[in-house]
Amino acid sequence: MCLSSCHREWMSMYKILLCLLSLLLTLSAGAEVTAVRGEAPGFEGRLVAVVGVQDEFSGKRVFLGQSEIDDSGFFEVKFEITNTQRIYVHIQRMEAPLFVQPGKSYRVVFPKREQADFLRFDNTEVSLQLIEFPSDDINLVIRKFNADYAVFLRDHFYDFAIDEYRGAPEYLQYKRNKIDNIDLYPHQVASDSLSQNLEKGFSKWVVSFEDSVLSSVQPSSDFEFASAYKMYACAELHLLSGMGQDVFYKRYFESETIHQLNPAFANCFRLFVRNCLVGQPSEIQSAIVKAIHVDRDLNSLSESISASYSLSSKRMKWLASIVSLKDVYHKRIFDVTSIELLLAKVATGDVLIDSIASASLYQMERCSEGWQMQDFVFSNENQERWKLVDAEGTPIYFLFFATWSPSSLIEVQVLNRWQEKFKGRVHMIAVCMDDDYKNYRRFLEDNLKLPLTVLFGNAEPFIHEKFNIKSIPHSTLLNAQGKILIDHCPQPSDHLFEATMMRFVETERTQSPRTWKGR
């Protein structure tokens, strides 16, 4: 009782303090210049880029700035932001998270390339070395909290597992059977410590951990952001410990405040509304399906899920619907075209909600069929820039290869034989994805008689994201308008390659570009 009482008092004081700080620390509408500078040993001559996210729910990335790393390994990137947020310092498929505040400068050291797996085409996340950061810097505060959080989970995983076991249907049935089946001839048995104490232990430890976090008021350069981060990270533990939906919603989301740039808030909210579109009672599930497939309306969907979830606020219902639609989109549980049309129609009048819906739709459609490819820059053997806009009007087949991949080198040779057949109808381009430009040049020198157009791809920092490249070799087919026709096209050696290309050529000749109706 003492712990619970103390916990409630701290929660009340915390909310009041956060509201006051929100009023006092409201940022002006104007953006301020923020700088990230430091050393990146081993990456001399490379580009370093800084990206943020539009919001942590959609994950839509926003390019903030870039610069070249000089011969001494030094770099400096300046950009403008209006709010505290998490950014990523990105160098050649390695990226490191950093929390930044408007108007501040940060000095860091980027880890050496040995810490990344360069044969992977997702972004290998690494940790920055922070140089001369003040003790109240938000990065140090959050790093310490995350370390304590990890220790808590490690130390109390057993308590969590035991509580999960006791809540399982099999165990509950076992307890009921023990009560129903009375032994007429009882005999002394060894005591079962597990069955003697049925009260959950993990939730006690969660309350104790949260109280210790809230009671130690650690100075922070952005107290509001750090406090919200800690509170919602602890809230996830309460969900895991079995806190009821009604209690949880009133405690953490009833205020309708959406911290769209705080990753802990976004993660907590996702966990709270997880599976709200599936596995519902038949009447509610039917209403959800109708709202998505027939009505294609956000308001109808939000009202449908509110019947089973404790969401009294229209704003939180909207957010729950958008977050859940993004979660189920790639699982193909619902018709993807219906989800796209629903999100495309969102116009609630709430600027933030409409922005999250638009960004989520962008993320869903990115690199899919019909997607308008963003402009990008490659380089050729003369280190001249090659841009997509310069090739408009011609369908292009891109084959991404690397000199360290024997299978992709074979595909280059096969593609070279195909290009004569499709000359004038489809432009065949091989793109070298080696990290070192010297390897690209060496490949050209070893293949002087190769008439195929071969470009260097890593001149563009985010090309693997723009083309959704997960492995090598990878092929993408664009139509004459620069839209993706096939995001994972058959390889040149594939028996379907010729038929696919012939069908595409015939379609381009007889029809206009396809819309969503033709999918």
pLDDT at 173 exceeding the cut of 70: no
pLDDT at 147 exceeding the cut of 50: yes
Q: Pick the residue with more confidence: 158 or 332?
A: 332
Using pLDDT thresholds of 50, 70 and 90, give the confidence band for residue 26.
very low
Q: Residue 21: what pLDDT?
A: 45
- Class of 377-518 in CATH: alpha beta
Tokens 């990890």 sit on residue: 150
Give all strands (DSSP E) within 185-328, no chain letters. none
Scored b (16 or more CB within 10 A) or e, 278-294 reads: eebeeebeebbbebbee
Using pLDDT thresholds of 50, 70 and 90, give the confidence band for residue 52.
very high
Q: Residue 508: what pLDDT?
A: 67
pLDDT at 10 exceeding the cut of 50: no
Q: Residue 290: what pLDDT?
A: 95
Q: Which fold has domain 32-135?
A: Immunoglobulin-like (2.60.40)
Mean pLDDT along residues 474-488: 88
Interval 322-344: pLDDT, tens: 999 999 987 878 999 999 999 99
Distances from the Cα of 332 to the Cαs of 288, 299, 484, in angstroms?
A: 15, 22, 20
Mean pLDDT along residues 248-269: 92
In whole angstroms, what separates CA 270 from the centre of its chain? 12
pLDDT at 17 exceeding the cut of 80: no
Annotated domain spans of the chain: 32-135, 282-365, 377-518
Interval 293-313: pLDDT, tens: 999 999 999 999 876 677 888
Q: Residue 269: what pLDDT?
A: 95
**Distance between start and end Cα atoms, the chain:** 60
* Pair of tokens at residue 236: 């996830």
